[in-house]
Structure 1
Amino acid sequence: MSIEYNDHELPEDILDILGEEEFESPKALKPKPKDTENLPQPIYRLKTLHSNETFHAYYVSLDNNEHFMTLCELEAALAGPRQANHDTSPSEEVWNCKHGAASAVAEALQAEAIQEEAIKAESIQEEAIQEEGIQGEVIQADAIHAKSEIIPNRALVISPTKYGKDLVMVLGVVHDLSMVNADELVAIERPATVDDFRRYLDNLEHEEETFAKCRECIEAHNLPMKLISAHCLLEDSKILFFFTAESRVDFRDLVKDLVGIFHARIELRQIGVRDEARVTGGAGVCGRILCCHGLSDKLNPVSIKMAKDQNLSLNSVKISGPCGRLLCCLSYEHQFYRDARRELPNEGVRFTYDGTLFKVIEVNALLNKIRISGEDGRILDMDAARLKYLDGHWTVIEEDD
């Protein structure tokens, strides 16, 4: 994985603390004109569960018999008595025999009676539909088809990823197709089943052991790298490891040892500190989930100038995230501040007001106010709308009585 670097416009003392920022090249972030008319519809935004990376995909055809389930629905289905005992054997026909054979027989008879009632109700419903005519059947079929046109949000599906075929989550339908790259689109294969989810949970338990074993091997080889996570792909015999390091690491001997231990394909990926925060997650200074983990996985460039334009303190602790880099949210409102400050004077501007020379010492773009300090010692708060840039200098317009 190639990582590009760019220096912030930081003073030297802050640069020493924040270090270098890692992000994609602006050329890569710039959208290219695309022919959105030929794209398949609808297009979904998907998220990998292990690294919180997002990508776009489409689904070729939907069968009315297919059922897409969310994470909660799969957990409930897996916790069900018959789903939990998926292997078919004679003893599993009666799944709970804690109360003895008599209780088991009673439960079986009760289930048989319920099934007979369901069959009778179904036959009565079919007769009612036949009496209403074929129009009723068409309306019912159309309703079922309309119900399954769109994959529901947070549904789990099986889809190819850049790491391999895996279990991913559907975040929703993409309405703005301008940012969709047709070359990167993938096709969703099928909805996730209870068996897929069971295997996913088994992999999670196995990943803990895999992570611990890989870390032991790293210490044995004395490699200067920090292991972040381990992930076993759902349908591929491959284990993916994420790690961070200050420089390039020769881990060829480590890979040989891991292949011998796990008897699977091994992939080690070096990521940056911002990617580490996206993978591991956490809480920001605002108390909410980290933006890179729960909001967007696109790590856009952030500079110290954005903090200056928003009149934020340049204290590195206050404007840095858990990753040690500048907060991603500094870029969210930066454009608003840039547009607002075009009509406002900068700090240090001098002008005459009430017969006294004043200097702008603070600009509040949100409140559209400025704070000025006069040579006579007065400090005033003034509406920025009263200042106009005329004939090459700022002038205070008197308020109407």
Structure 2
Amino acid sequence: MKLVYEVWQESGLRTDCLGIDNQKLKKNDAVILDFGAYKEYARVVNCRGELPIEADSESLPQILRRATLQDQNKANENHRFNRTSSQKAEKIIGKSNLDISMVDAHISFDRRRAVIRFLSPKRVDFRQLVRELASSLGMKIEMRQVGVRDVAKMRGGIGTCGRVLCCTSWIHEFQSVNVRMAKEQHLSLNNNIISGQCGRLKCCLAFEYEGYQLISEDMPLHGSKIMVRGQEARVLDTTLLNRSLLVRVKQDGRVMNVSREQLDDLVDSKDSACGDDCGADTSCSTDDCGSCGD
């Protein structure tokens, strides 16, 4: 029976691969993967279960075997070889006069292939550079241009929450994040607060966004006219998690906190425009903030 395993490669990538049940692999077991053109050393993260019938098994790498002591010794040697090869590649890239900054390099377990990741503000023609690197290192070269979020994922770090970066510890694919997510959660739009180590908007802005959207469905917008205990009022602010509102009563100008359940009715629709005299803070818009990031 074929099983699907999730493994963590030496290059820092998580990959799904195929194994068979009689291999009896467990979490943290070291294995050798066969990608066809090259082999990789990896560790098992978990077993996802039996391969679905409709799945394309040919697109997944195969687990050749559990890593032997000789394989583990070779993997340790590859770490040292990778460091010296990376230094050599960095010198060659530095002499190429291309607008490229090398992030890291990874050499496959069988030393047949090297993947070099780099940062560049624009597209680069590196064909000549690839030929020079292949001649110097004696292996196939693959150049991959990455973004600043990928660099943060590879290098790791500690976030402002005090935990390891989510992109390093468990996020496999980046989701689009925009400043509207921060606005609808009533977060400060200060770039220093809502930006991560990569300089882009924090991935965690998307984690609770759907929940805030559900909560806000029956909450009036800033500046909406509402009825509170038979009196007309304007919404100045809302606290979604507490489902409460800060309102100004039209009759006597009192400002008070009320819960959503205390509202009698909405006078205006939720899409009504905010008047100049409502007192709601509408100074910030998505277009004005300029903090939007992918």
Separation (CA, whole Å) in 2 of partners of 1:166 and 1:368: 53
Q: 2:255 aligns with which of 343, 355, 379?
A: 379
After superposition, give the CA deviation of every residue in 1:105-138 in whole Å (9 maximum; x if it has no partner).
xxxxxxxxxxxxxxxxxxxxxxxxxxxxxxxxxx
In structure 2, the residue matched to 1:153 is 27
After superposition, give the CA deviation of every residue in 1:271-309 in whole Å (9 maximum; x if it has no partner).
122111222211222121111111122111112111112
Q: Letter of the aligned partner of 2:41 in structure 1?
A: L
Q: Residue 171 in 1 paired to residue 131 in 2?
A: no
Q: Letter of the aligned partner of 1:358 in structure 2?
A: A
CA distance change for structure 1 residues 166 and 190 in 2, over 3 Å: closer, same or farther?
same
Q: Letter of the aligned partner of 2:168 in structure 1?
A: H
In structure 2, the residue matched to 1:226 is 101
Shift of 1:169: 2.1
Secondary structure of the residue aligned to 1:188 is strand
Secondary structure of the residue aligned to 2:168 is helix
Query: Does the 8 Å CA contact 2:116/2:143 hold for their aligned counterparts?
Result: yes
TM-score by length of 2: 0.80
Give 1 or 2: higher helix fraction.
1
Q: Letter of the aligned partner of 2:259 in structure 1?
A: D
CA distance change for structure 1 residues 206 and 377 in 2, over 3 Å: closer, same or farther?
farther
Separation (CA, whole Å) in 1 of partners of 2:153 and 2:227: 51
Q: 2:19 aligns with which of 59, 65, 72?
A: 59
TM-score by length of 1: 0.60
In structure 2, the residue matched to 1:44 is 5
Q: 1:261 aligns with which of 136, 147, 155?
A: 136
Q: 1:202 aligns with which of 47, 69, 77?
A: 77
Alignment RMSD, CA only? Answer: 2.7
Shift of 1:234: 0.4
Q: Letter of the aligned partner of 1:369 in structure 2?
A: S
Secondary structure of the residue aligned to 1:298 is coil
Query: Does the 8 Å CA contact 1:309/1:337 hold for their aligned counterparts?
Result: yes
CA distance change for structure 1 residues 378 and 215 in 2, over 3 Å: closer, same or farther?
farther
Q: Letter of the aligned partner of 1:59 in structure 2?
A: G
CA distance change for structure 1 residues 278 and 344 in 2, over 3 Å: closer, same or farther?
same
Separation (CA, whole Å) in 2 of partners of 1:304 and 1:392: 27
Q: Residue 214 in 1 paired to residue 175 in 2?
A: no
CA distance change for structure 1 residues 326 and 176 in 2, over 3 Å: closer, same or farther?
farther
In structure 2, the residue matched to 1:182 is 56
Q: Letter of the aligned partner of 2:109 in structure 1?
A: L
CA distance change for structure 1 residues 387 and 155 in 2, over 3 Å: closer, same or farther?
farther
Name the count of aligned residue pairs: 267
Stretch deviating more after TM superposition (238-247 or 355-364): 355-364
CA distance change for structure 1 residues 361 and 188 in 2, over 3 Å: closer, same or farther?
farther
Q: Letter of the aligned partner of 1:43 in structure 2?
A: V
After superposition, give the CA deviation of every residue in 1:150-179 in whole Å (9 maximum; x if it has no partner).
x2222221113598421122211226989x
Q: Residue 362 in 1 paired to residue 237 in 2?
A: yes
Which structure would you say has the larger RCO, counting Cα contacts within 8 Å and 6 or more residues apart? Answer: 1
Separation (CA, whole Å) in 2 of partners of 1:374 and 1:152: 65
Separation (CA, whole Å) in 1 of partners of 2:193 and 2:85: 37
Query: Does the 8 Å CA contact 1:278/1:297 hold for their aligned counterparts?
Result: no
Shift of 1:187: 2.4
Shift of 1:181: 5.5
CA distance change for structure 1 residues 203 and 379 in 2, over 3 Å: closer, same or farther?
farther
Shift of 1:390: 6.2
Secondary structure of the residue aligned to 1:296 is coil
Secondary structure of the residue aligned to 2:95 is helix
In structure 2, the residue matched to 1:320 is 195
Separation (CA, whole Å) in 1 of partners of 2:15 and 2:144: 18
* Unaligned stretches of 5+ residues in structure 2: 271-294
Q: How does 1:1-400 map to 2 (within 5 A)?
A: 42-51=3-12, 53-63=13-23, 148=24, 151-160=25-34, 164-174=38-48, 182=56, 184-353=59-228, 357-375=232-250, 376-387=252-263, 389=265
Query: Does the 8 Å CA contact 1:60/1:187 hold for their aligned counterparts?
Result: no
Separation (CA, whole Å) in 2 of partners of 1:224 and 1:214: 15
Separation (CA, whole Å) in 1 of partners of 2:37 and 2:158: 27
Shift of 1:227: 0.5
Percent identity over paired residues: 29
Q: Letter of the aligned partner of 2:119 in structure 1?
A: T
Separation (CA, whole Å) in 1 of partners of 2:253 and 2:262: 21
* Unaligned stretches of 5+ residues in structure 1: 1-39, 64-147, 395-401
Shift of 1:247: 0.9
